[in-house]
């Protein structure tokens, strides 16, 4: 089915995407089938009342979706088997996770490419259809519960929900091995849309280290355009219960022809800790909506992000942290390196209402522009109504300091190496926090390659 546009493309385009989503049937059975069906119907009703956002919408003021609307996408199911036959995971897998890896292709579970036998007993990492009955009964308490009625892309994802990656960590379980969630999109002559879904539940006292990775089946460097666009519209929901800890590394490394709209919704209970290392290097146009709600006292949220783009790329990061209880903490640092004619967007919101006394909140967005045509729009926001708090926020936009470059040249480096050394130091503050050695080294190499 191809998409036919009417006089108002932002409306007809969305309706056509919704029609595509409705064609796929859930693969779950039993009691979950009714739950999924209800979620799909509710989400479809929301989508029918909305339109694709435009720059007239405040939340999309700096991100133009026209390039996305110019492409007609088709469903992916017909290409799934064909794609699996030629898939090579060599460059995408991590040596630290040979038996704790879950693979989805175009949003469809690929059991032959996955292995989770290295995980402790009781930990479930798999697809929704294989979820044990004891957990299935609790799915209605988590799945789709963090979705805002105005979020058209998240609703679109739910309207096409057929399956999901599920990570379920039982009470007081510490998972030492990182868990690698690998979501691969196809690139073909026919543009496709896929909508991966992920649900993470960390029960009280548990600890887990997640690597969420988005990539495409391209040969060689994904930064080389091959004129094969695709659209990845994904949603991840994370529930962190009392005293639990989740370390979450999100690596968006889509092919340069791809479009990526992603949402991460996190709910934290009392005394929980959440750390997110969000890396965004790929896609022609990308957006990551990161939303965290603290629902208990003494909760800690640490957000570290790196956006590194060039060429004609557009990368948008929108984050929101809601603290609603005393003694909460949030610390956010997001860095952008923008080259050529690329365009970066950062909008970070921190809400500290009256109930969130003794909050400690810090937010900083630092931007490094490497060319005269590079552009960034940054808008850190801090809304405080509590009075006994310690809060700060800010943003910086700069270029490489010529005096720093000159100093390094005086120590024997040529100009290129001097610039690269300064850029490496800029990104190191983020990349050094990634808790998996091989991934950290790969990302460092990608950053270095882009600055050469």
Examine the domain organization and report whether 429 and 289 are in the same domain.
no
To which H or E segment does residue 31 belong? helix 30-48
Looking at residue 11, its pLDDT comes to: 77
Looking at residue 447, its pLDDT comes to: 83
Looking at residue 397, its pLDDT comes to: 96
CA distance 333 to 355: 25
CA distance 177 to 71: 40
Q: Is residue 342 in some structural domain?
A: no
Structurally, how many domains does the chain consist of?
2
CA distance 105 to 113: 10
Q: What angle do CA 169, 172, 176 make, to 5 degrees?
A: 65
CA distance 155 to 215: 23
Tally DSSP H helices, then E strands, for the chain: 9, 20
Q: Which of 296, 330, 360 is the last residue of a domain?
A: 296
Torsion of CA 302, 307, 308, 309, to 10 degrees: 170
Q: Is residue 52 in some structural domain?
A: yes
Structure tokens at 262: 């992603």
Looking at residue 95, its pLDDT comes to: 96
Nearest to 73 by CA among 185, 171, 178, 148: 185
Nearest to 158 by CA among 235, 78, 212: 235
CA distance 298 to 303: 17
Q: Is residue 355 in some structural domain?
A: no
Cβ neighbours of 406 (radius 10 Å): 11
Examine the domain organization and report whether 126 and 249 are in the same domain.
yes
Structure tokens at 329: 């903490």
Q: CA gyration radius for the chain?
A: 21
Q: Is residue 394 in some structural domain?
A: no
Q: Which of 263, 296, 329 is the last residue of a domain?
A: 296
Examine the domain organization and report whether 103 and 232 are in the same domain.
yes
Q: Is residue 376 in some structural domain?
A: no
Examine the domain organization and report whether 248 and 120 are in the same domain.
yes
Examine the domain organization and report whether 27 and 168 are in the same domain.
yes
Plot region of 423 (φ>0 → left; ψ -120 to 50 → alpha; else → beta): alpha
Q: What is the pTM of this model?
A: 0.94
Examine the domain organization and report whether 413 and 290 are in the same domain.
no
For residue 50, give the DSSP letter.
Answer: -
Looking at residue 82, its pLDDT comes to: 64
Q: Is residue 385 in some structural domain?
A: no
Coil, helix or strand for 312? coil
Examine the domain organization and report whether 43 and 160 are in the same domain.
yes
CA distance 34 to 22: 16
- Give the start-end residues of each E strand in 118-272: 124-127, 165-169, 179-185, 193-194, 197-202, 207-216, 230-240, 245-252, 258-268
CA distance 213 to 197: 13
Query: What pLDDT tens digit does each residue of the chain (452 aa) get?
Result: 444 444 567 778 888 888 888 777 777 777 788 889 999 999 999 999 888 999 999 999 999 999 999 998 887 765 566 667 777 888 899 999 999 999 999 888 999 899 999 999 999 999 998 999 889 999 999 999 887 778 999 999 999 999 999 999 999 999 999 999 999 998 878 898 999 999 999 999 999 999 999 999 888 888 888 888 999 999 999 999 999 999 999 999 999 999 999 999 999 999 999 999 999 999 999 999 999 999 999 999 999 999 999 999 999 999 999 999 999 999 999 999 999 999 999 999 999 999 999 999 999 999 999 999 999 999 999 999 999 999 999 999 999 999 999 999 999 999 999 999 999 999 999 999 999 999 999 999 888 887 76
- The pairing of beta strand 329-338 with beta strand 360-369: parallel
Examine the domain organization and report whether 65 and 206 are in the same domain.
yes
Structural domain containing residue 246: 9-296
Q: Which of 254, 279, 296 is the last residue of a domain?
A: 296
Nearest to 255 by CA among 211, 210, 303, 192: 192
Examine the domain organization and report whether 210 and 96 are in the same domain.
yes
Cβ neighbours of 112 (radius 10 Å): 9
CA distance 337 to 443: 14
Q: Is residue 246 in some structural domain?
A: yes
Cβ neighbours of 6 (radius 10 Å): 10
Q: Is residue 320 in some structural domain?
A: no
Q: Where are the alpha helices (DSSP H) in 224-359?
A: none
């Amino acid at each position: 089915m191809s998409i036919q546009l009417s006089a108002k493309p932002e409306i007809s385009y969305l309706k056509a995407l919704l029609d595509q989503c409705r064609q796929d049937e859930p693969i779950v059975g039993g009691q979950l089938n009714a739950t999924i069906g209800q979620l799909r119907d509710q989400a479809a009703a929301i989508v029918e009342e909305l339109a694709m956002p435009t720059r007239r919408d405040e939340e999309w003021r700096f991100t133009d979706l026209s390039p996305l609307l110019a492409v007609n996408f088709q469903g992916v199911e017909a290409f799934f088997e064909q794609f699996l036959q030629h898939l090579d995971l060599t460059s995408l897998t991590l040596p630290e996770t040979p038996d704790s890896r879950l693979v989805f292709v175009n949003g469809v579970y690929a059991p032959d490419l996955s292995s989770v036998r290295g995980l402790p007993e009781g930990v479930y990492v798999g697809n929704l259809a294989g979820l044990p009955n004891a957990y299935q009964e609790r799915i209605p308490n988590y799945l789709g519960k963090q979705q805002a009625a105005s979020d058209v892309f998240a609703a679109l994802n739910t309207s096409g929900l057929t399956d999901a990656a599920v990570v379920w960590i039982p009470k007081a379980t510490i998972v030492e091995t990182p868990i690698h969630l690998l979501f691969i999109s196809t690139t073909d002559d026919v543009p496709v849309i896929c909508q991966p879904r992920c649900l993470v539940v960390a029960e009280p006292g548990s600890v887990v280290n997640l690597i969420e990775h988005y990539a495409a089946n391209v040969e060689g460097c994904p930064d080389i355009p091959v004129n094969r666009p695709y659209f990845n519209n994904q949603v991840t929901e994370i529930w962190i219960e009392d005293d639990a800890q989740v370390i979450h590394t999100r690596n968006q490394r889509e092919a340069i022809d791809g479009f990526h709209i992603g949402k991460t919704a996190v709910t934290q209970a009392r005394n929980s800790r959440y750390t997110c290392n969000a890396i965004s290097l790929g896609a022609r146009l990308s957006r990551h909506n990161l939303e965290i709600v603290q629902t208990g006292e003494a909760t800690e949220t640490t957000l570290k992000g790196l956006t590194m783009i060039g060429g004609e790329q557009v990368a948008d990061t929108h984050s929101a942290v809601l603290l609603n209880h005393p003694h909460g903490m949030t610390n956010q640092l997001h860095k952008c390196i923008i080259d050529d004619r690329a365009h970066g967007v950062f909008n970070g919101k921190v809400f500290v209402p009256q109930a969130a006394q003794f909050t400690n909140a810090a937010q900083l967005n630092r931007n490094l522009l490497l060319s005269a045509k590079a552009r960034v729009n940054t808008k850190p926001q801090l809304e405080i109504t509590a009075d006994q708090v310690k809060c700060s926020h800010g943003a910086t936009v700069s270029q490489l300091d010529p005096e720093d470059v000159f100093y390094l040249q005086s120590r024997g480096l040529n100009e290129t190496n001097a610039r690269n050394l300064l850029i490496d130091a800029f990104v190191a503050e983020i990349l050094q926090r990634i808790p998996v050695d091989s991934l950290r080294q790969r990302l460092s190499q990608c950053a270095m390659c882009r600055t050469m």
